[in-house]
Each structure stands twice: as C-alpha cells, then as structure tokens.
Amino acid sequence: MSQQTGHYYVPAPSTYPIIGSTALLFMGFGAALTMNKMELGYGLLAIGFAILIYMCFRWFGTVAAESESGKYGLDVDKSFRWGMTWFIFSEVMFFAAFFGALFYMRVLSIPWLAEESQVLGQSFWGAYEGGWPTTGPGEHAAFTPMGAWGLPAINTLILLTSGVTVTYAHWALKEGRRDALKKWMLATVFLGALFLGLQGYEYVHAYNDLNLRLDTGAYGSTFFMLTGFHGFHVTLGTIMLLVIYFRCAAGHFTPERHFGFEGVAWYWHFVDVVWLGLFIFVYLM
Amino acid sequence: MRNKSVATLAGVTALALYSSMAVGSKYNFQEPQSVIAQDIYDQHMMLLWICLAIFIAVFGVMFYSILKHRKSVGHKAANFHHSTTAEVIWTIIPCLILIVMAWPATKTVIAMKDTSSPDMTIKATGYQWMWGYDYLQGEGEGISFYSKLSTPRAQLENKEPKGEHYLLEVDNHVVVPVGKKVRMILTANDVIHAWWVPALGVKQDAIPGFIRDSWFTADTPGIYRGQCAELCGKDHGYMPIVVEVLDEEAYSEWAAEKLASMKKDSVNLASVATDVASDAEAVEAAEKDSDNN
Amino acid sequence: MAAVHGDVHGHGHDDHHPTGIMRWVTTTNHKDIGTMYLWFSLAMFFTGGFLAMGIRAELFQPGIQILEPELFNSFTTLHGLIMVFGAIMPAFVGFANWQIPMMVGAPDMAFARMNNWSFWLLIPAALLLISSFFVPGGAAAGGWTFYPPLSTQGGLGVDMMLFAVHILGASSIMGSINIITTVLNMRAPGMTLMKMPLFVWTWLITAYLLVLAMPVLAGVVTMLITDRHFGTSFFNAAGGGDPVLFQHIFWFFGHPEVYIMILPAFGIVSEIIPTFSRKPLFGYSSMVYATASIAILSCIVWAHHMFTSGMPTVGQLFFMYATMLIAVPTGVKVFNWTATMWKGEMTFETPMLFAIGFIFLFVIGGFSGVICAIVPIDIQVQDTYYVIAHFHYVLVSGALFALFGGAYYWLPKWTGHMYDETLGKWHFWLSMIFFNMAFFVQHFLGLAGMPRRIPDYALQFADFNMISSLGAFGFGLTQLLFVYIVIKCIRSKEPAPEKPWDGAKTLEWTHLPTPAPYHSFETPPVVK
Ligand code: HEA
Ligand code: HEA
Ligand code: CUA
Ligand SMILES: [Cu+2]
C-alpha cells in the first residue's frame, strides 16, 4: 500500500465494448438461426466471430500497451489479481454444473431408471439394467467406452508437465533470465498444442472406431461435453500462452511486474486441475 | 394512551377479518376429504395464526415507534445501536417457532410418502393434453381409459354461456371406492405434467420416462376436481382431473360394467404397457375410445 | 460514522470525454454507466409490465379474451424473464455503479472499460428476447424456468431466449467481478470492511452469489441447447438423463438468484431507515452476518421449488428445514430495522415511506415463503397463484419498492435537483393500495386451487381475478407517475440542497457536493 500514488488509472472512453456487443449481437442471432437450420445464420455467426476476434486483438493490444507504458499502478495490479481470481472461480462453477450432471446421472437417475421395472412391473424401459458406462435405457447403438490408460494417461502427463514448464518460465522471468523464459514458454505452448492434437485424435478414434458419439446417451453426453469444454479452455489457454510468449519475446514484463504472465499461468493451472477431475471421474471411474 | 387503543382496535379488526376469511372455503383450501388433506389444512391454519401473531407483534412495535418516535411530535433521537441480549433473544425465539412448525410437518411428510400396501393401484399418464388411466391392481384391475376436457369449445370462446363446471369437467371420471387406500402411479408420455386433486391432498409431477407415486384415501363419496399443475404447453389449462368417489357397492358395479364394456371394445387398450413410441397412435386410439363411451 | 480529511475533490476538473451519443456508447465513467443501467431497467420494467398487463387483461374474465393460450404462455414466460433479468437485476447494478465508488471513496469502478461492456451486452440480449416474439413459432412459452422436455419442444424463439440468457449471464458475471474487485481493492484508506455502508456489504455478498450462480445457469442452458440440437441426453430419460436434473441445476442457480434480487434491496433499506430515523443502524455487524448467512443458506435450499417432483423423503425434509432456517437471519434484519426506528426522530419523506412499505409487505411475502417451505402445504400450493402472490410480495413490494425508495433517496445526489415530494407521496400510496389489491387476493386464488400459467380458469375464481386485474392496471398506471416525477426532477431548474437528508452519514453525502461531480474521489478521502 505504501507506494500507492493514490491515482488509480481509469481508462479513457473506448469503443471496444460496443464493438464486442455488436459481435455478440451477430453471434446470438447467428447461433439461434444456425441451430434452426436457417441459412442466414451462418453468415451472421461468421461476421460476429470476425468482429469478436478483431475486438480481442485491439482490446488486449491496448491493455498490453497501457501496461508497458507504466499506466498501471500497484493497485491496478491488485485489481487484476482479484478479477482473475473471481473469473476463475466462475469457471469452476461452470464446470461444477457439468460434473454435477455427471454425478447425478451416475448416482441417481440411472439407478432409478434401472429400478423402475420393480415398481409393479411398470416401466417404460423393459429390463434395463443400468450401470456405467451406459447409453441409457432407450435405443442406442452399442459403443466402447474410452479407456483411461492410453491417450488420456499420456495427456495427463502432458498437462502436468506443462504446469511444471510454465512454472519454470515464471522462475526464469523473476530471475531475469529472458532466454530461459522464452524457451519454457514455447515448451508450454507446445505441450498445450500437443494435448489438443491428441485430444482431437481421441475424438476421431471415438467416432470412427468406438462408435462413441455426442448422442451416445448419458455416457456420450457427459464424456464429450466435459472433455469438450475442457478442450475449449485448453485452446483458449494455449492461445493466451502464445500471446504471452510473443509479449515476452517483445521484451514485455519485468521481474517485479508481470501480472499478464501470472494471470495466464493461473488459468493454465486451473485448466490442469479440471483435467485431473476429468481424468478421475470421466476416464477412470 | 389513545394511540394504544387505536392500535389494539386495528389489530383486533385485522384479526377478525383475517379469521373470517379463513373460514369460507373461497378464501382457503378446499374442504379436505382425506386424512392428509385434513393435516395440510390444519397445519396451514396453524401457520397462519403463528405468522399473524408474529406480524402483529413486530408491526405493533414498529407502528408504535412510528407514531411516537417521530420528529413532528418532538421526539429526540436516542443513540443506542447495539444490544447483544436483544439480538440473541430474537435469534433464538424464531428458531423455537420454526421447530414448532416443522414438527407436525415432518410427521405428515413421512405419512404422505408411505405408499406401501395399497388396496388398489392406478397409473395415470400425462399426455399433451389429457390423462390416461390404467387400473393396475385391486378391484377393477385391467380397466383403462383416457380422460379429456369435456367443456365445449364454444364456451371457451365465449359463444355459449359457461356451465357450472367450466374447465373442470371431463369425459371419463377416475372412479375409486371410498375408504380404500389408492396408490397413484404417475408418469408422462411427452412433457412433465402434474396430477393434482386439492380435496384429496395429492399433487405429484408426472415425469416422462420415470415413475413416481403418491396415495390417498377418500373419506366421503363425491366428485372432486383438480387440474394439471405443471406447465405442459398450449393446453396446460385444459387438462383437468375429476375423481369420483363411490361407496364400495357402487364402485364394484361400475368396475364390472367398465370391464365388460372394455372387453366388447374393438380397440383394446387394456394392455398396460404404455406405448412411448407411438404417441400419435395413442392419441388416435384415445379419440376413438372417448367416442365409444 | 467516519471522519475524513483531504480535499473534497470537485468541479474544476476537465472531463475530456466525447459528447453526444458517443459519450454514452464509449463511456468508462461509473456514473454514466449507472445512469444507462437505470434507464435500461426502467424501459425493461415497462416492457415486462406491458406483458403483465396483457396477462391481467386476459385473466380479467373467464374465457379466452385477447391472447391465445400459446401467446399467453409466451407473455408469462417473457414477463418473468424480462422482469428478473432486464428490470430488477440491472436496476440494482445501476445503483451499484452509481453508489459503490462514492460510498467507499473510490475514483471509479476497478475495471472501467469492462464495466461499459457489461452494460452494452444487455442490449443484444434484450433485442434477442423481444424480437423472439416476432419469429416463426413465436417466443419461448415454457415459463421463465424453461423446464425440459417442454422447452426442448419450441423453435427458434426458445433458442433466442437461451442465447439471450447466456449473454445476460456474461454481463452479470463481469459486472459482479467488477463490483467485488472495487469493494475489496479500492476502498479509501481507513474504510475497513466493517466500516463500509451496508449497501456496499450487501452488494459484495450479492456479487459473490452472482459469480457462484450465473455460471451454473450458463451450464444448464448449454446442456439444454445441446439436448435440443446436438443429441445429448442430459434431460432425456431414454439416454439415462432426467428432466428433474434440469430442475436441480436450474434452481441451484435460481434460488440464489432470488436473493440476488433481495439482498441489495436490504442494503438500500438499511441506508434509508437510519437516515430518516436520525439514529445509527442498530446491530450493524449482525446485519452483515445475517446477510452472509442468508447467502450461504441460499445455496442449500434450491429443491424447495421441487417438492412435487417426487424427491425421496429425506431430501424433502432436508430442503424443508434448510429453507425454514432462512427465516432466522431475515428476521434478524427485520428486527434490527425496527430497533433502528425505535426511539428515533423519524420523518416520513418518500424514501422512508417506501422503506417502511418494503418491510411491511416483504414480511408478508416472507411469511408466505415459509408457508411454501412446509412440504405438506407446498404440495397444495405449488404451481398455484399462492406462489405467484408470494413472490410478487417479495419482488414487487420487496425489490421494486426498495428500488423506488433508493431512487428517491439518491435522486438529489444524482441530478442535483429535488423530486416533487407531494407527487412522490402519491406514488407511494397509490402503489401501496393498488399493489395489495392486485396481489393480496392471489393468495386466496391459490389456496382455493387456481393453478398458475393458465390463460383461463374455472368460474369460482372469477371475482378475485377481476379485482386482481383492476389492481394491476391501477398499479401499472401509477408507475407512469414515477416516470413523470423522475423527468420533472431532472428537468427542474431549482438546485437541491447540498444535503437534503440531515441524517445521512455516508461518504457521498458528507464528502461530495450535490450533484456529485463527474469524477469523484480521484484523490481518496481518508476515513478515520
Ligand atoms: C426476492 C425474491 C424472493 C425472496 C426474498 C424469497 C424468499 C423466500 N422464499 Fe421464495 N420465491 C421467489 C422469490 C423469493 N423468495 C420466487 C421468484 C419464487 C417462484 C419461482 C417460480 O416458480 O417461478 C419463489 C418460490 C418459493 C418457493 C417454492 C414455491 C413453489 O413453487 O411451490 C418456496 C418454498 O419453500 C419459497 C420459500 C421462500 C422462503 C422461505 C423465503 C424466505 O427467505 C423468507 C424469509 C422472510 C421471513 C420469514 C419474514 C421475516 C422474518 C421474521 C419476521 C422472523 C420471524 C419469522 C418466523 C419465525 C417465521 N419461495
Ligand atoms: C421480478 C420482478 C417482477 C415484477 C416487477 C413483476 C411485476 C408484475 N407481475 Fe409478475 N412475474 C414475475 C416477476 C415479476 N413480476 C415472474 C418471475 C413470474 C413467473 C413467470 C412464469 O411463470 O414463468 C411472474 C408472473 C406473473 C403472473 C402469473 C402469470 C401466469 O402464471 O400465467 C402475473 C399475473 O397476474 C403477474 C403479474 C404482474 C403484475 C401485474 C406486475 C406489475 O407489478 C407490473 C407493473 C408495471 C407496469 C404495468 C408497467 C408500467 C406501466 C405501463 C406500461 C403503462 C401502461 C399501463 C396500463 C395499460 C395499465 N406476474
Ligand atoms: Cu398437463 Cu399441464
Ligand atoms: Cu427458492
């Protein structure tokens, strides 16, 4: 608190937010139309995405520039820390909803469906036996569940390693070893990309060989939605890491002040932890 | 002094008004026709009185203060802002009141949930927008029919005067014997519906793909009306439930007759298993069924 | 409460910002953004109110009058969604934007640009919601709770509603992160947590609830979208899912959501009551703890909305007990307000009237809530007009009345002009009378067995429905008076007194001129 100037940086009026809202306007209508098979939707969606990406470039570019020009005092830095913490908390709650759905089905609804036939022989579902993995009692083609000890185990190692490399990068940054910083950052980005590649391969394998799809009942739904959203977060994280890499390469950050780096590292660790949850509850159990 | 008597008078009037409202069934639950419904009725009355008492106590104090401690009568502000004793008291007393409320409720919940050893079992299936009934066990086993709103469209559209049971009448009543424990099994074919007969104290959602149950024992013969109580689409307001309670003999007669007429029926709907797959077929059949009756 | 040195920062500052419409589009100023939130919510209140008038007109008499059943359901659905997400929540965020920086002595919100985005995200969402009425298939008609499988049916309108909810959720999450950060990081030196005005406390806790609950809503909306379009089976028994699963996740969000709409109202009332009683708030710290307990309890009571869905007995009992417990901390608040008024030196300007009206009617709504919480009774009243009466007592005469009270309380600070006291009193008394006329009788309708979400009803419900509709029309018209008062206040030539409320003790009254300057507290005050 002591070095505080007392002047908190309040950015000047900005057009980025309205650009972002326009993007979401297009994307909202676009997505709704697309999902109802209306041609117009694809165009709107594409425009929306384009605007959103443009906005991200400009907005984050400005933030990086403001940061580098020393506009952010220590109190702004602290705000960013609080902000990122609560953002990650909100992400945790988002995943919690999906984990909740998984537990509910496995522990409650599937056993209920299986027990139903004992209610006076009354059931919609004949002799459904429940258990996990399952497609549920309706008509679904047979499938093979995803094993844990092949690619998923390797992916676990990859992500855990990437957590280590990003920490090495952090140490390097704090000790002013810029070359090591860049190397470790690149390694982390590479591991993230590798994870994504393997995950993509696993999906192809699931669809082609295991007959495991998004619409494969309870198992397919939870498997793809949980791993899919995780994969989406890894994608974002990898892009963010890449951006930080370029900022490092451009000489951004000092050993004392580098919240941009830390925020992304936190995010990366969060993604890591979610994966551990997935590995245990989706793949292993 | 004058203010106090005014406050008392107002309190008593409010009380009298409130209790007079509570007696007429228009202002309160329908007259209970089963043990559970009676329990619910009594507990609601008890809660109403407790809440009213708390209300009068709290706002008695507040309005006393509003009348007496106002600037315009020259009251000067005190400056206290804390009293641990007071705060402990008004934390503990509500807890005790809540226990008084929860105790009978707990007993009723346990009783409500006890669907074991029924005298007969009926399955009700919700459709958009009518009910299907299958008598699964007990006297009348095998009876099966659909039950739809029978109020003519013209009445809905204000082209005809509305009848006495406007929107609460169906083509086929659910008929049950008096004094017998009837277990209702609920399910639905498309979306969630809810089977509700206020006088019998039963409301249970009917959930597609799942089976839920509930029970009632009707105390007196009569016709009890209820409605679907879960938004189920366009005609959610138009799928009433009518339960007709008969004395035992009359029920036996009805059941025998119904079974005989069903045997004659060319469209045999006695099969118990619900055909999830052929929704359209079911509706069609139901239409025929109701024509035949 | 707190003494301050340091300069009272003020006018002479140059506010280099764009003018005209671009000022509002690009602004990073918390007051501008707060103003936009407030106007937006007023517009949405009228939109939602218009739909409510449609509902009440249809229910004026038995028989189908003006709305076909499907359209009626859309009206109900969008009325609920627009009022909750469009009117009440943004109104409180508007208050937060205006007041929190001023009350904690901060120059602005922590993330001023993101703050602007939080607001402007509301516009696409509102457009999605409102235009869904005009697409093929019509607007969503499955209730504001959009339970599947009913909401799996519907068409384009349902998807537009779902995406709107997504965007609103994003806006809320950003807004609440901003509020939490501002409160935690930007308080003036000396403004310890336990010195913060209660309004700030309640918003801090509300923001925490928002960050907790909104992502869960996003999750369940996502599952519904994939169930609708991509063949997943979260809510489909044939695939091992369960329609009731939706209800659990939805209400895990939905119940905290209702406290999100009441805690800031508690905050506003806790500012008004001491001011007009000219006496410090009684039991400040127990107020803070009570708010926190309500927030914590609110996360474990969600299934009280599902007592008829057929939960196991222990589940029903657990959720019944947990729900009833909320009466205790809420009671503490009511008692503390009463004790604050006790031996005060009260005057009854419009804000105070609305605050007292709030307590009086909110407690009625709270009691009907407790009655709903008793499982056996809820079996009878679930999905009836009793519940409608319950939550309009807590939402309209609760949240909305507190908002009116807060608006009158802070209008002089915001605009620099005084509102018309006489008209304000008229607004209060007319609202009070018509509100009760509209909603008190709905208790009886519910008890006597009228289900909710129906366009037409049996004959025995006719007279109460007519009373209710008349009351609702009266209430709606009365709100036009509010708009008139606000506009008159803004347009007024006469400056408001520097400190119109002699009992006010918070920073915005003690350390800022009236009207508050565009930039306040650029140099933080020091609070002792
Ligand atoms: C601002 C919003 C708000 C608030 C504050 C509340 C507050 C409460 N609500 Fe309400 N509720 C809603 C909004 C709200 N509710 C909405 C929108 C719905 C319907 C959703 C839908 O289905 O569409 C709903 C529905 C709802 C239901 C489901 C009904 C049903 O569908 O069947 C239940 C059941 O338990 C319930 C209970 C409660 C309780 C116990 C409280 C408690 O917090 C109340 C506590 C307050 C008091 C009790 C008064 C003050 C206390 C004292 C003076 C102390 C002494 C008192 C005692 C000892 C009793 N609410
Ligand atoms: C969050 C806040 C909120 C608010 C403020 C309101 C405000 C009002 N609500 Fe609200 N209501 C809900 C939340 C809210 N409601 C929810 C969540 C539901 C459940 C939805 C569901 O079941 O899914 C619901 C459902 C609901 C129903 C039940 C519908 C049904 O089950 O079918 C009814 C019926 O009377 C109703 C009436 C009203 C009325 C008359 C007002 C009035 O207070 C509104 C007053 C305001 C105005 C009228 C606008 C201002 C004036 C004008 C526009 C001028 C023109 C005036 C005239 C022409 C007279 N509401
Ligand atoms: Cu069936 Cu509502
Ligand atoms: Cu609730």
Query: What is the DSSP secondary-structure string of C291-323?
Result: HHHHHHHGGG-GGGG-GGG---HHHHHHHHHHH
- List pLDDT tens digits, range C185-194: 999 999 999 9
Q: Is residue C522 part of a domain?
A: no
CB of B231 within 8 Å of any CB in chain A? no
Give me chain B's average pLDDT, please: 85
Residues C497 and C421: their CA atoms lie apart, in Å, by 14
Q: Is C26 within 8 Å of A138 when comparing Cβ atoms?
A: no
B35 & B136 share domain: no
Range of the domain at B149: 120-254
Q: What is the pLDDT of residues B239-265, one digit of tens each?
A: 999 999 999 999 999 999 999 988 876
Element (H, E) at B108: helix B84-113
Q: Both B107 and B202 in a single domain?
A: no
Report the distance separating Cα B92 and Cα A66, nearest Å. Answer: 55
Interface probe for B, chosen from C236, C242, C244, C308 (most Cβ of B below 10 Å), is C308
Omega before residue C517 within 30° of 0, cis = no
Compute the distance from residue C365 Cα to the ligand 1 centre, in Å.
7
In a domain, B288, yes or no: no
- Interface predicted TM-score of the whole assembly (ipTM), two decimals: 0.92
Q: What is the mean pLDDT of chain C?
A: 94
Q: A95: closest CA among A246, A277, A248?
A: A277
Does C255 participate in catalysis according to the annotation? Answer: yes
* Same domain (yes/no): C239, C372: no
Mean pLDDT of C466-479: 97
Are both C251 and C295 inside the same structural domain?
A: no
Ordered by start, the domain boundaries in chain A are 14-71, 74-284
Contact (Cβ atoms closer than 8 angstroms) between residue B193 and residue C99: no
Give the CATH number, domain containing residue C412.
Answer: 1.20.210.10
Nearest 5°: the CA angle B116, B120, B125 is 95
Instruction: Say whether residue A127 is in contact with chain B using an 8 A CB cutoff.
Output: no
Task: Say yes or no: C156 and C269 in one domain.
Answer: no
Shared domain check, C294 and C171:
no
Is ligand 2 within 6 A of the CB of residue C450? no
Question: Which C-chain residues 107-126 have CB contacts (< 8 A) with chain B?
Answer: none
Residue of C310, C448, C456 lying closest to B167 (CB–CB) = C456
Helix (H) or strand (E) holding C341: helix C327-341
pLDDT for position A176: 92
Provide the H-helix boundaries in C241-306. Answer: 243-260, 263-277, 284-297
E-strand stretches of chain B: 120-127, 130-137, 144-147, 174-177, 181-188, 193-197, 202-206, 212-217, 222-227, 240-246
Q: What percent of chain C has pLDDT over 90?
A: 91
User: Do C458 and C313 share a structural domain?
Assistant: yes
Residues near C296 by beta carbon (within 8 Å), at least 6 away in sequence: none
Interface mutation vs chain B, best among A117, A118, A122, A135, most B CBs within 10 Å: A122
**Token pair recorded at residue B235:** 């005609």
Within-domain flag for B208: yes
Asked if C305 is an active-site residue, the reply is: yes
Domain shared by C164 and C256, yes or no:
yes
The CATH number of whichever domain residue B66 belongs to comes to: 1.10.287.90
Partner-chain residue, chosen from C28, C240, C249, that has the shortest CB–CB distance to A12: C28
The reply to whether ligand 3 has any atom less than 6 angstroms from the CB of B148 is: no
Q: Which of the listed residues C239, C261, C283 is the one where a domain comes to its end?
A: C261
What pLDDT does residue B17 have? 53
List B residues 261-290 in contact with C (Cβ-Cβ < 8 A).
Answer: none
Check if the beta carbon of residue B190 is closer than 8 Å to that of residue B127. Answer: yes
Domain contains B245: yes
Number of structural domains found in chain C:
2
A222 Cα to chain B: minimum distance (Å): 19
Which CATH number does the domain housing residue B209 bear?
A: 2.60.40.420
Calculate ∠ Cα C126-C127-C133, nearest 5°. Answer: 100
Q: C390: closest CA among C366, C425, C358?
A: C366
**Inside any domain, residue C4:** no
For residue C338, give every residue at least 6 positions away whose Cβ sits within 8 Å of its Cβ, in sequence order, or none: B58, B61, B62, B65, C359
DSSP β-bridge partners for residue C346 = B70
Q: Tokens at residue B174, please?
A: 């659910």
- For chain C, the distance separating the N- and C-terminal CA atoms, rounded to the nearest angstrom, is 9
Residues B158 and B232 occupy one common structural domain: yes
* Domain identity same for B91 and B207: no
Q: Is residue B65 part of a domain?
A: yes
Say how many CB pairs under 8 Å bridge B and C.
Answer: 279
Which residues of chain C neighbour B228 with C-beta distances below 8 Å? 451
Smallest Cβ–Cβ distance between B121 and the set A116, A120, A123 belongs to A120
The Cα–Cα gap between B144 and B268 comes to 9
Residue B77 and residue B155 share a domain: no
Above 70 in pLDDT, residue C490?
yes
Choose one of C261, C280, C298: the last residue of a domain. C261
- Domain co-membership, B94 together with B218: no
Domain final residue, candidates C231, C261, C291: C261
Give the pLDDT of residue C161: 97
> Does residue C79 carry a catalytic annotation?
yes
Q: For residue C12, with 0-12 CB atoms within 10 Å meaning exposed, 13-18 middle and 19 or more buried, which class applies?
A: exposed
Structure confidence at residue C522 (pLDDT): 83
Q: Pull the structure tokens for residue B202.
A: 């039963």
pTM (2 decimals)? 0.93
Of residues C211 and A122, more confidence is placed in: C211
Neighbours of C399 (CB within 10 A): 28
Tally of domains in chain B? 2
Kindly state the tokens that stand for B25.
Answer: 């069934």
C positions 226-285 inside 8 Å of B (CB): 236-238, 242-244, 277-284
Confidence of residue C15 (pLDDT cuts 50, 70, 90): low
Hey, are the CB atoms on B190 and C149 less than 8 Å from each other? yes
Alpha-carbon distances of B244 from B29, B36, B203, rounded to whole Å: 19, 18, 17
Which residue's CA is the closest to the ligand 2 atom numbered 19?
A: C80
DSSP state of C12: T
C160 and C126 share one domain = yes
Judge whether C112 lies within some domain. Answer: yes
pLDDT at position B8: 58
C57 found inside a domain: yes
Please tell me whether residues C272 and C172 are part of one structural domain.
no
Mark whether B148 and B197 lie in a shared domain.
Answer: yes
**Distances from the Cα of C135 to the Cαs of C72, C131, C159, C225, in angstroms?**
16, 7, 11, 18
pLDDT for the residue numbered C9: 40
> Could you report the per-residue pLDDT of B161-176, keeping only the tens digit for each?
999 999 999 999 999 9
- Classified by CATH at the fold level, domain A74-284 comes out as Four Helix Bundle (Hemerythrin (Met), subunit A) (1.20.120)
Tokens linked to B40: 């619910």
Take residue A40 and report the two structure tokens written for it: 């117009």
Whole-number pLDDT of residue A175: 94
Same domain, residue pair B109 and B124: no
Q: Which chains touch A (3 or more CB pairs under 8 A)?
A: B, C
Residues C353 and C489 grouped into a single domain: yes
From the list C17, C153, C90, C43, the residue with the least C-alpha distance to C403 is C90
Domain that holds residue C270: 265-516
For ligand 1, residues with CB inside 6 Å are B 54, 58, 94, 97-98; C 145, 258, 261-262, 304-305, 323, 326-327, 330-331, 334, 363, 366-367, 369-370, 372-373, 378, 382, 387, 390-391, 394-395, 398-399
Q: Give the dihedral sign, CA A123/A127/A129/A130.
A: negative
pLDDT by 10s per residue, chain B, length 293: 455 555 555 555 555 555 545 445 678 898 999 999 999 999 999 999 999 999 999 999 999 999 999 999 988 988 888 899 999 999 999 999 999 999 999 999 999 999 989 999 999 999 999 999 999 999 999 999 999 999 999 999 989 999 999 999 999 999 999 999 999 999 999 999 999 999 999 999 999 999 999 999 999 999 999 999 999 999 999 999 999 999 999 999 999 999 998 887 644 444 444 444 344 444 444 444 433 33
Cβ–Cβ below 8 Å for C28 and A14: yes
- Report which DSSP code applies to B182: E
What pLDDT band is residue C366 in, cutting at 50, 70 and 90? very high
Are C139 and C279 contained in the same domain? no
Helix (H) or strand (E) holding C527: strand C526-527
- Residue C261 pLDDT > 80: yes
> Which positions of chain A have pLDDT values less than 50?
1-5
Strands B120-127 and B181-188: parallel
Number of residues assigned to chain C: 528
C121 and C153, same domain (yes or no):
yes
The protein residue whose alpha carbon is closest to atom 1 in ligand 3 is B193
C111 CA: distance to closest CA in chain A (Å): 8
| Residue C335 sits in the same domain as residue C244 | no
Residue B77, burial from CB neighbour count under 10 angstroms (0-12, 13-18, 19+): middle
Q: Please report the sign of the dihedral spanned by the C-alpha atoms of residue C464, residue C465, residue C468, residue C469.
A: negative
Distance in Å, CA C388 to ligand 4 centroid: 13
Q: Does B271 fall in a domain?
A: no
- Are B102 and B193 members of one domain? no
